[in-house]
Amino acid sequence: MSAFLDACRRKPSTHTPIWLMRQAGRYQASYQAIRSKVSFLELCKTPDLACQVTVDAVEQLGVDAAIIFADILLVLDPLGIDFDFEKGHGPKIYNPVRDAKAIDAMPETIDAEASLGYVMEAIRLVRRAIDVPLIGFSAAPFTLAAYAIEGGGSKSYYETKQLMYGDEGAWKVLMTKVADALALYLRAQVDAGAQALQLFDSWVGILSPADYERYVAPYTKRIFDALSDVDVPTLHFGTGNPELLVPMQEVGGDVIGVDWRIDLGDAWDRLGGPEETAVQGNLEPAMLLAPVDVMKAAADEVLKSAGGHPGHIFNLGHGIMPTATVDQVRALVDHVHEKTSR
Ligand code: CP3
């Protein structure tokens, strides 16, 4: 077994496992070198390269888990939504879905192997290349739907909320189609060799708990229900609103991902403690930009909050930023390992 998989199952582990969201990315010279030759989408769609950047991150950092190099937006392709990544501007969706007509035109189902087979091939390659467990992932339905509606990132998400409140019938159709596609995609990742699955609900924190219950919970739950026979641990991550931790736990996930806006121990208490669930998190990501001793002290606080209980996976509260350095990230990983080896 591995420290990461043990912690997902709340079993005692040799040390507190650590991996980092966005551990493969622009802060690495090796990644920049590849990106100087191919676009981000080409990188995602070339299994050899996606495998290489996945493995590079593990080898450079010494982390306890790999996450397949891909993006939450790739699944928009089989859903008939066109997008690209524009330099310096993030994702751009060319035909955002904003009304019942566009939603009805989306396919009812997807063939994940046929449309996203390059992700599954990259998973197979990574499994042959390294021994640490490999995490597959997707967005959760709300975050993916919000991208599809807004056409990119947003601060206010007014388009999303306008559709959600304005045409609940269309919202239901959209969220159901998205959830069903994501469940098929996640299952295909497990069939290809993914040993854990993380759902990223990165933008869900803009909702109130009541709106989460009404407009999101049934659809994310649909995914967990569809995967109930799949024998890998699931991680359910959101950001922005600690009030959603318990509703998200009720929806599903063996591990609840916690961002930095709440003390990890408080979050774990709310979730029922180590008897109830495993947790992942939650160092303030900007600590990667702080002096190393300040970062290590902050990491110690996170470890103290977790109280050494089985079922803690160390991570950042959100992804690594492009301005971090490999040396600093490596110092964090080494520090967590040194502090917690048992
Ligand atoms: O964690 C990993 O190392 C695996 C790879 C991974 C990427 N995106 C690679 C990526 C994962 C898990 C994601 C998930 C993802 N993608 C999320 C959820 C996690 C989160 O951060 O909340 C979201 C919201 C996206 C959508 C997305 N993809 C955005 C907003 C952007 C642009 C952001 C930016 O910093 O430019 C991307 C592009 C992207 N995805 C990059 C990487 C390494 C940068 C692309 C580049 O090389 O230019």
Whole-number percent of the chain with pLDDT over 70: 100
Domain ranges of the chain: 3-340
Give the residue, out of 18, 20, 21, 22, with the most ligand 1 atoms within 8 A of its beta carbon, to mutate for a pocket test.
Answer: 22
Selecting among 6, 64, 71, 201, the annotated active-site residue is 71
Cα dihedral sign for 207, 301, 233, 200?
positive
The answer to whether 22 is a known catalytic residue is yes
Q: Where are the alpha helices (DSSP H) in the chain?
A: 3-8, 29-35, 40-45, 47-61, 100-105, 112-129, 141-150, 158-166, 168-192, 209-215, 217-226, 245-251, 264-270, 292-306, 326-340
Q: Is the pLDDT of residue 205 over 80?
A: yes
The answer to whether 342 is a known catalytic residue is no
**Cα of 71 from ligand 1 centre, angstroms:** 6
The CA distance from 169 to 164, in Å, is 9
Give the residue, out of 19, 63, 72, 93, with the most ligand 1 atoms within 8 A of its beta carbon, to mutate for a pocket test.
Answer: 72
**Band of pLDDT at residue 212, cut at 50, 70 and 90:** very high
3-class secondary-structure state, position 85: strand
Q: Is the pLDDT of residue 317 over 90?
A: yes
Which residues contact residue 276 at a Cβ distance below 8 angstroms, ignoring those fewer than 6 apart?
249
pLDDT: is 291 or 87 the higher one? 291
The CA distance from 115 to 274, in Å, is 39
Q: What is the mean pLDDT of residues 52-70?
A: 98
pLDDT recorded at residue 156: 93
The CA distance from 148 to 77, in Å, is 11
**Band of pLDDT at residue 90, cut at 50, 70 and 90:** confident
Is the C-beta atom of 91 inside 6 A of ligand 1?
yes
Q: Dump pLDDT digits (tens) for 256-291.
A: 999 999 999 999 999 999 999 999 999 999 999 999
Q: What is the mean pLDDT of residues 303-329?
A: 98
Is the C-beta atom of 153 inside 6 A of ligand 1?
yes
In this structure, the residue with its CA closest to atom 37 of ligand 1 is 90
Q: Is the model's pTM score more than 0.95? A: yes
Q: Quick one: fold of 3-340?
A: TIM Barrel (3.20.20)
